[in-house]
Amino acid sequence: MKTFTRSEVARHSAENDIWIIIDASVYDMSRFIDMHPGGAFPILEFAGKDATDAFYGLHKQDVLLKYNRYKIGTIENEQPQINFYQAGDISKVPYAESSFWMGYKSPYFTENHARFRVAVRKILDGLKSEAREIEDSGERPSDEFVQKVGAAGLLAANIGPDAVHGIHLPGGIKPEEYDYFYEMIVHEEFARWACPGLGSGLLGGMTISVPTVINFGKPALKAKVLPLVLSGKKRMCLAITEPYTGSDVANIKTTAKLSSDGSHYIVNGVKKWITTGCFADYFSTAVRTEGGISMLLIERTEGVETKLIKTSSGSSAGTAYVTFENVKVPKENLLGVENQGFKVILSNFNHERYIMLCGASMAARLVVEDCFKWANQRKVFGKRLIDQPVIRNKLAGMIAQVESMHNWLENLTFQMNHMNYDEQSIKMAGPLALCKYQMTRMLHHVSDDACQIFGGRAITKGGMGRNIESLQRTYKFSAILGGSEEIMADLGVRQAMKYFPKGARL
């Protein structure tokens, strides 16, 4: 790369010969000017001059990477002043990372967790632009893309400690070392893509359905299905909800009748809003059997149809309306015991909520980081936004809420690490439900304040406000799915009532 003086750059200010400076780098805009999505005017204004402040007032760093081919050199004896994000970097913006990563002490995290986060971040940063292309197109995540995530060990890692046996994990972490804090890191890192549609299509269905096979599948079924799903060669979803019944699972109508020779079930019914359903090869499905509710793993075979339901998170989620018409399902595909499907369904709830909590916490943190940066770079009425007390007040509220929720979540993660499954089932349902209730209330407030700080960009797709727009469009998913806010609040108090001492009086 050549070096130039500022006066040399200044000589290139004619309409067909335009150079500009952005953070000590020189860009030749002569060929680009007609292609500039914002028109020629904003560039002409800075022909031959330093456009750093104006550029960062209107664009994210990604834009410089995208158009790096127009960079022709740097300014002599000058160093860039702006931290340029590199894949895997830990942010230096206050509160952009949780406290351990900001240099504070932690009773929970170790150097191995730190190494793991950087390794996962590098991998997912490397896939981020592809992820965003899929998200924006609303397309099915390609087999190649899903398998790249699988090959990195991250499909299994996303499901949790029970799924990583024999998996090569990022950062050289041994599978036996993989605890819930590692899992937390994985959910957080995926959330940094800010691709809620793709996230659901890639991970949403499988993370809630694969545990039903791991914990309740027969050995032959597990041996067949798990390697395919964890490598990304096949996809799976959880099909419980029906048009008639959402929260009230006991009322499902899909039937499974055992054939006269007892070798298979015949399934008939419909399922609604099934995340990843459009792309799924396997459906872990709640059905009504002779004496109650059972869970069956149904393969996409004759009689299985899926139709896309468009939701606010975008079509890459593959949210499906599923119909089962006389579908033959081998008896071996029964998950758990016949008529005891509720046990299978309930066994998943705590962990599903845990996953949502980790993703939600990071989605809010990402927005706080964007708001902090934006408040520092956006100038209005001659002042930076951060110089306005009202903006600092909003940021303070956002930070305090994110930190409070995250710290509670770390504590719950610690509890999960130190409890076996049975103890978790007894003790964790209430606190996880209340944490989810409060987390989604937090998302509501943080998203609202972030929109006000970002102004028009918060309600514009793509560009600088991308993460803010995405959160305000989709945060309600966490408040409705996996147990709605009302149900979470109620469950939390009802669970607490179980342990309310009989003699307790004021």
Ligand X SMILES: Cc1cc2nc3c(=O)[nH]c(=O)nc-3n(C[C@H](O)[C@H](O)[C@H](O)COP(=O)(O)OP(=O)(O)OC[C@H]3O[C@@H](n4cnc5c(N)ncnc54)[C@H](O)[C@@H]3O)c2cc1C
Q: How many residues are given for the chain?
A: 506
In whole angstroms, give the CA distance from residue 191 to residue 252. 32
Among 138, 246, 330, 463, binds ligand X (CB under 6 A): 246
Residue 30 found at the interface with ligand X (CB under 6 A): no
CB crowding 111-143: b at 16 or more within 10 Å, else e: ebbbebbbbbbbbbbebbebbbebbbebbbbee
| Smallest separation, CB 200 to ligand X (Å) | 7
- Within 10 angstroms of residue 204's Cβ, the number of other Cβ atoms is 28
Interaction of residue 238 with ligand X, rule CB under 6 A: yes
C-alpha dihedral sign at 454, 460, 464, 470? positive
Cβ proximity to ligand X, 106 vs 311, nearer residue: 311
Q: Which is nearer to ligand X, 345 or 385 (CB)?
A: 345
By CB under 6 A, tell whether 475 contacts ligand X: no
Query: With CB under 6 A, what is the number of residues at the site for ligand X?
Result: 21
Between the CA of residue 480 and those of 1, 196, 278, 474, 486, what are the distances in Å?
53, 15, 21, 11, 9
Q: What's the min distance (Å) between Cβ of 166 and ligand X? A: 27
Per the CB < 8 A criterion, the answer to whether 253 and 269 are in contact is: yes
CB of 71 closer than 8 Å to CB of 27: yes
Beta strand pairing call for 17-22 and 25-28:
antiparallel
Residue 134 is a binding residue for ligand X (CB under 6 A): no
Using DSSP's 3-state secondary structure scheme, residue 360 falls into helix
Contact pattern for ligand X over residues 179 through 208, marking x by CB under 6 A:
--------------------------x---
289/319 with CB nearer ligand X: 319
Cβ contacts of 29 within 8 Å, gap of 6 or more:
18, 19, 20, 36, 43, 47, 70
Interface segment toward ligand X; rule CB under 6 A; list 7-15, 184-192, 267-275, 361-369: 267-275
Applying CB under 6 A, which part among 40-48, 251-259, 376-384, 484-492 lies near ligand X? Answer: 484-492
Binding status of residue 274 toward ligand X by CB under 6 A? yes
Residue 211 and residue 348 in contact, taking contact as beta carbons nearer than 8 Å: yes
List the structure tokens of 40.
């020629």
- C-beta of 419 vs 480, nearer to ligand X: 480
For ligand X, the closer CB: 146 or 385: 146
Element housing 113 (H / E): helix 111-137
Query: Which part of the chain contacts ligand X (CB under 6 A), choosing from 79-87, 122-130, 140-148, 478-486?
Result: 478-486
Residue among 307 and 379 whose Cβ is closer to ligand X: 307
Q: Which residue is nearest to ligand X, using beta carbons? A: 246
Given 181, 193, 273, 279, the residue binding ligand X (CB under 6 A) = 273
**Binding window for ligand X (CB under 6 A); candidates: 244-252, 297-305, 357-365, 389-397:** 244-252
Determine contact, residues 349/482, Cβ cutoff 8 Å. Answer: yes
CB of 127 or CB of 489, closer to ligand X: 489
Closer residue to ligand X in complex, CB, 50/299:
299
- Convert residues 301-340 into a mask of x (bound to ligand X by CB under 6 A) and - (unbound): ----------x-------x---------------------
Name the β-bridge partners of 299: 282
Binding residues (CB under 6 A) for ligand X: these are: 205, 237-241, 246-248, 273-275, 311, 319, 477, 480-481, 484, 486-487, 490
